[in-house]
Structure 1
């Protein structure tokens, strides 16, 4: 796997874990999602302004990713309403690498060598070990599975779309700008226009900043997937769950039990196989 792709995927994972740690301190998911959409819309609009039109071949992928992301946000709200965030988030993220590996084999003829496939499986198993709970409600687990399917779907579609566009940045700009509009509309529907704007005005830059940072982090993944195997980049990016646990341990002073340390070790071995085997 190219060193630049490894660096981009790991950097994206650390960025993803960091902004999720900041977001964890918030209690208003609707307002946060609205402000993140505003940040994504602003960043996407700037890219469109400077880079211009999207190649025609990439438009079907943009349309698909907008629809998938809307389903993803709906499932995410339902999942977090049904169960513990750590279980839903971890289970859904852990599912993605193996699902993307299967999808990439079917759509892009990318079949990982045995040791790479073992590494992808190791990342998934390790992520499950870090946070998934066998005592969680069945409803929460089912919603987590739906979220995982959405993550795998948009990961694959976005990777193929970036390749079709010939440039990951312009694809990301258009897709983020277009998906941010229905995301904001969804938040207005959940909260109401006047109340949402009032809530958002309390501390707007936190959420907008998260939107911009998450935009940049995901851009690194899409860029890496234009020249590296899709499933391997996705698996390295999902190490964000472990980075999140380490951030919680080092900066939020959360305790990590034996199970979470074991999961982190499994992820590290899996990531090593993906990167260097």
Structure 2
């Protein structure tokens, strides 16, 4: 399968496949965010998810895919550090703000820095129309932030720091998207990168989260938490794997921006699953974010 995928790099078919992979990643990433933000403590949810996907990836990394080339080990080390910092920022963000408030800001902030990073690292250039799409996306993002700042009542006392942390988290998303796109292109077999990334990335946070769980006076049951972790692990495999393959097959910047259609999926999930009120104005602003991503895709 890897040979077939590599043959599509830089081709029109590869571009089309990257588009669909980015859209799949958008939906799954919104679902992943909702799983972490759901009824459990977001730190516990993330720890359970990390433990699950690390255990799932271990046999593939050790026994199925080719072993990484020597130059890949420092790349994996950098990815572990970068993703750990992102998880801390994301955990703080979800602890302070409602999902439909902070998630669009995280996802809307990331593309601007991802596009800049893709230009610096991979020499990608956006057309004027694509930059217009980025502008529409950012207008929707920060318009939504201002609207939430003025009207939201849920977790009102922590809304301002939640929005600040959401911007910081978005910057980390852009950083790891660019870095991981470099990593998956640095190895001959992309599945080697994915298997070893998931195996090593989930080795640290679960231990810290276990200490948090032990110190809780009212500890949640481990069964439902483990079930959420398994579902989140499978979702992470599909979401992250899809966007990473999209960045290898085609433009990193376009894939990163198109993934931000996840804001519309997040609004629907927050409304249907988490019982968070969305409203027509917030939904319109979220749709602007998605529209900006679509303009970027078709403006290339």
* Counterpart among 31, 42, 63 of residue 18 in structure 1: 31
Residue 182 of structure 1, CA deviation: 0.6
Q: Does the 8 Å CA contact 2:37/2:94 hold for their aligned counterparts?
A: no
Structure-2 residue corresponding to 1:275: 297
Alpha carbons 2:260, 2:290 under 8 Å: kept: no
**More divergent stretch after superposition (146-155 vs 253-262):** 253-262
Q: Deviations over 1:83-125 (max 9, x none)?
A: 4443333222211000011111111111112222222333333
Greater displacement, 59-68 / 241-250:
241-250
Q: Which residue of 2 aligns with 1:94?
A: 108
Matched residues in 2 for 1:250 and 1:194: separation? 30
Q: Relative to structure 1, is the Cα distance of residues 58 and 259 closer, same or farther in structure 2, using a 3 angstrom cutoff?
A: farther
Shift of 1:243: 1.2
In the alignment, structure 1 segments of 5+ residues that lack a partner are none
Q: 2:290 & 2:117 partners in 1: Cα distance?
A: 24
Q: Give SS of 2:149's match.
A: coil
Moved more, 151-160 or 235-244: 235-244
Q: Report which stretch shifted further, 252-261 or 211-220.
A: 252-261
- Do residues 154 (structure 1) and 176 (structure 2) align? yes
TM-score with structure 2 setting the length? 0.81
- Aligned 1:1-277 pairs, distance under 5 A: 2-48=15-61, 49-130=63-144, 133-135=148-150, 137-192=159-214, 199-249=221-271, 255-277=277-299
- Counterparts of 2:273 and 2:94, CA distance in 1: 24
Match for residue 8 of structure 2?
Answer: none
CA contact (8 A) 1:42 1:177 kept: yes
DSSP-derived class of the 1:111 partner: coil
| Structure 2: distance between partners of 1:233 and 1:244 | 18
Q: Report the aligned-residue RMSD.
A: 2.7
For structure 2, the 5+ residue unaligned runs are 1-11, 151-157
Compared with structure 1, are the counterparts of its residues 185 and 104 closer, same or farther at alpha carbon in structure 2 (3 Å cutoff)?
same
CA distance in 2, matches of 1:62, 1:121: 33
Contact 2:104/2:286 (<8 A) preserved: no
What TM-score do the two structures reach when normalised by structure 1?
Answer: 0.87
Work out the CA distance in 2 between the residues paired with 1:33 and 1:203: 10
For the Cα contact (< 8 Å) 1:97–1:231, is it kept in 2?
A: yes
Aligned CA distance change for structure 1 residues 15 and 81 (closer, same or farther; 3 Å): closer
The question of whether the paired residues in 2 share the 8 Å contact of 1:130 and 1:242 is answered with no
More displaced, 26-35 or 81-90? 81-90
> 1:194/1:78 Cα in 2 relative to 1: closer, same or farther (>3 Å)?
closer
How many angstroms apart in 2 are the aligned matches of 1:21 and 1:85?
Answer: 7
Q: State the shift of 1:60 in Å.
A: 2.7
In the alignment, the residues of structure 2 paired with residue 258 and residue 27 of structure 1 have an alpha-carbon distance, to the nearest angstrom, of: 28
For residues 68 and 218 of structure 2, what CA distance do their matches in structure 1 show? 32
